[in-house]
Amino acid sequence: MTAALAERVARVTGRRVAGISPLAGGSVAKVVLVTLADGGWVVAKLGAGLEPEAWMLRYLASHTVLPVPHVVHADDHLVLMDHVPSGDSITPAVEVHAADLLAALHGTGWHSFGAERDTVIGGLRQPNPPGRHWVAFFRDHRLLFMARQALEAGRLPPALMGRIESLAGRLERWLDEPERPGLIHGDCWGGNVLARAGRVAAFIDPALYFADPEIELAFATLFGTFGDVFFARYGEHRPLRPGFWEARRDLYNLYPLLVHVRLFGGSYVGQVERVVGRFAG
């Protein structure tokens, strides 16, 4: 594989390969660092179904100021990207910069919720049929869609599916319609935020679509990506509507939790049960 990859990278880039070494991550695809003989590096991602990721990175690069890796080459089995030097932790300074960047991203609008095409999250399809009503979009194409995927994979108990369907019919009690659709990165956990010298060097592995940006903010709290510093700065740009911390955060986090149930099962089922139980009354 290494020799074949080196030959292919050389053919695509026109530059000879000096070495290939593994990189961390790669739960969906294999990720390696390719050292070029005349200096420099590219990151190669290998697997199946990779074209949507390249499309999303190129979309963010052409439509927003969010820093993302430049895509050198893309097909459905290989994506080559510029290597972004990083490796620092997410410090308060990084949180401030991330808040500035995501607030600007969320200000990028469209005429509908959804996107021009379907995207992916964790290698799973995200359907994005354009729609004018956010609550219906979230209910049908995020909450119920991913719950059914998890059910069909044998990782979500049928009884819990029934409770999710019941909750889905009452979302209007807690969710409201945002003023307009906003573009989100869509998979904003710490492993997808590359930091260097107190700044965000790049956001990677997007799962973008146009949404209520609060779903991005909720996800940023799920695994502790960002904290108080981030939210204080973000609020200077885009104040949060009342009710986010009290209810909407947990409801929106049902979607990434269901993604994890579909992918991994295990303890994530219990987390879904606890959130659903909170709103089951």
Token pair 């999303």: residue: 56
Q: Are strands 193-196 and 78-82 parallel, antiparallel or unpaired?
A: unpaired
- Residue 25 pLDDT: 65
For residues 238-255, average pLDDT: 97
**Helices 214-222 and 249-264 sit at what angle, rounded to 10 degrees?**
60
Q: Assess contact for 57 and 69: CB atoms under 8 A.
A: yes
Across the range 251-278, mean pLDDT stands at: 97
pLDDT tens, residue by residue, 50-98: 999 999 999 999 999 999 999 999 998 999 999 999 989 999 999 999 9
- What confidence category does residue 224 fall into, taking pLDDT thresholds of 50, 70 and 90? very high
Structural domains of the chain, ranges and CATH numbers in brackets: 2-82 (3.30.200.20), 92-279 (3.90.1200.10)
pLDDT on residue 26: 58
Catalytic residue among 75, 82, 88, 187: 187
Q: Is residue 128 over pLDDT 90?
A: yes
pLDDT digits (tens, 9 = 90+) for 160-217: 999 999 999 999 999 999 999 999 999 999 999 999 999 999 999 999 999 999 999 9
What pLDDT score was predicted for residue 2?
86
Output the average pLDDT for the chain.
95
Asked if 187 is an active-site residue, the reply is: yes
